[in-house]
């Protein structure tokens, strides 16, 4: 360990807060580190037999990055592997296990955790976003950062919550991408195509009464449309998957609303529309 200058804790906290606000999302040392090599080494260590008196593992994350550092398959093979794996899943838990085994998506190499879903899987409403950000990557759950907090408030305004045990008042939340794109860049079409079989299987297994797509990416990818979100939002579409049709509402992404608060009135209209549809459909009437 190198000698550290003596910084009062409040000052260190202020500096850390400033760095985070400026966009820093990783602590790095004085020397550059090739994280791919670190992951390869960690993976090789993973494959060693356990020492006789190994210390018990401490709270392993759902999907540590080293598991992702295997050879990558071509995008076409990755999609076909994803389809086979997803179709074999008979429960949401099996989807999580399949995603842990699936090495086709290059985003897994740089992500910290798999970020699959959060909320009540028996909910009437499934909310689908784009991709995990820094906070989601750290915690392995979708929509837990600033946009997630806004999403929670928006849903609460119409009586819905990811934490409600009552399926009538609950939501289940997922994304069309399960690993954080580096630097929060927009996921590529290939990356979305690799995750899509798992998204489709999630919809089939969960069988929600309504789907809400937050933002352009999930709306365009699920519906195969190309219009921008300002044209798509506020409209109900029918999503056909397997032998089931599900009403799908496109709305604005909460991250966009944080940047453009004046547009919250449009999102509010969409939410009221969802509430009306939920009331019309009635409890348990799927
Ligand atoms: N934005 C998303 O689309 N999904 C998340 O999980 C977080 C932010």
Whether 45 is covered by a domain: the verdict is no
CA distance linking residue 71 with residue 94, whole number of Å: 23
**Predicted local distance difference test score (pLDDT) of residue 271:** 98
Condensed to tens digits (0 to 9), the pLDDT of residues 46-85 reads: 333 333 333 333 434 444 444 444 445 788 899 999 999 9
Domains of the chain: total: 1
Choose the residue to mutate in 133, 151, 220 for probing ligand 1, maximizing ligand atoms within 8 Å of C-beta.
Answer: 133
Condensed to tens digits (0 to 9), the pLDDT of residues 99-117 reads: 999 999 999 999 999 999 9
**Predicted local distance difference test score (pLDDT) of residue 10:** 81
Q: What is the mean pLDDT of residues 127-142?
A: 98
**Separation of 79 CA from ligand 1 center, angstroms?**
22
**Separation of 175 CA from ligand 1 center, angstroms?**
7
Condensed to tens digits (0 to 9), the pLDDT of residues 168-225 reads: 999 999 999 999 999 999 999 999 999 999 999 999 999 999 999 999 999 999 999 9
pTM of the model: 0.76
Domain of 223 in residue numbering reads as 74-285
Q: What is the mean pLDDT of residues 266-285?
A: 90
In the chain, % of residues over pLDDT 90: 71
**Separation of 115 CA from ligand 1 center, angstroms?**
10
The answer to whether 81 and 104 have CB atoms below 8 angstroms apart is: yes
pLDDT higher than threshold 70 for residue 258: yes
Whether 22 is covered by a domain: the verdict is no
For the Cβ of 132 lying below 6 angstroms from any atom of ligand 1, the answer is yes
In ligand 1, which atom is closest to the CA atom of 254?
Answer: 1
For the Cβ of 119 lying below 6 angstroms from any atom of ligand 1, the answer is no
For the Cβ of 135 lying below 6 angstroms from any atom of ligand 1, the answer is no
270: CATH = 3.40.470.10
**Separation of 5 CA from ligand 1 center, angstroms?**
37
In ligand 1, which atom is closest to the CA atom of 136?
Answer: 6
Choose the residue to mutate in 142, 149, 184, 259 for probing ligand 1, maximizing ligand atoms within 8 Å of C-beta.
Answer: 142
**Separation of 47 CA from ligand 1 center, angstroms?**
33
For the Cβ of 133 lying below 6 angstroms from any atom of ligand 1, the answer is yes
Whether 60 is covered by a domain: the verdict is no
Tokens standing for residue 1: 């360990």
Whether 31 is covered by a domain: the verdict is no
The answer to whether 112 and 61 have CB atoms below 8 angstroms apart is: yes
Whether 98 is covered by a domain: the verdict is yes
In ligand 1, which atom is closest to the CA atom of 253?
Answer: 3
Whether 58 is covered by a domain: the verdict is no
**Separation of 50 CA from ligand 1 center, angstroms?**
37
* Sign of CA pseudo-dihedral 129, 267, 224, 119: positive
Whether 201 is covered by a domain: the verdict is yes
In ligand 1, which atom is closest to the CA atom of 214?
Answer: 3
CB-based contacts of 194: which residues, under 8 Å, 6+ apart?
75, 78, 79, 82, 104, 105
Whether 252 is covered by a domain: the verdict is yes
**Separation of 128 CA from ligand 1 center, angstroms?**
9
């Amino acid at each position: 360990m190198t000698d550290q200058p003596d910084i009062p804790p409040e000052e260190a906290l202020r500096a850390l807060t400033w760095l985070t606000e400026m966009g820093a999302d990783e602590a790095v040392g004085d020397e550059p580190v090739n994280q791919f090599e670190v992951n390869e080494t960690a993976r090789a260590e993973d494959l060693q037999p356990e020492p006789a008196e190994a210390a018990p593992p401490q709270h392993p994350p759902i999907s540590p990055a080293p598991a992702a550092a295997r050879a990558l398959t071509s995008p076409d093979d990755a999609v076909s592997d994803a389809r086979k794996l997803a179709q074999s899943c008979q429960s949401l838990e099996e989807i999580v296990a399949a995603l842990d085994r699936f090495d086709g998506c290059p985003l897994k190499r740089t992500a910290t955790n798999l970020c699959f879903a959060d909320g009540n899987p028996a909910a009437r409403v499934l909310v689908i976003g784009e991709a995990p950000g820094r906070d989601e990557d750290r915690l392995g759950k979708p929509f837990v950062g600033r946009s997630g907090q806004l999403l929670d408030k928006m849903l609460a305004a119409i009586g819905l919550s990811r934490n409600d045990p009552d399926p009538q008042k609950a939501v289940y939340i997922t994304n069309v991408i399960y690993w954080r794109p580096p630097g929060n860049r927009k996921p590529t079409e290939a990356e979305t195509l690799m995750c899509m079989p798992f998204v489709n299987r999630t919809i089939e297994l969960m069988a929600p009464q309504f789907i809400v797509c937050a933002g352009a990416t999930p709306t365009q990818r699920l519906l195969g449309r190309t219009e921008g979100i300002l044209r798509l939002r506020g409209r109900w579409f029918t999503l056909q998957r397997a032998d089931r049709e599900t009403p799908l509402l496109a709305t604005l992404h909460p991250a966009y609303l944080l940047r453009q608060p004046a547009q919250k009135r449009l999102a509010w209209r969409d939410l009221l529309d969802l509430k009306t549809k939920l009331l019309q459909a009635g409890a348990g009437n799927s």
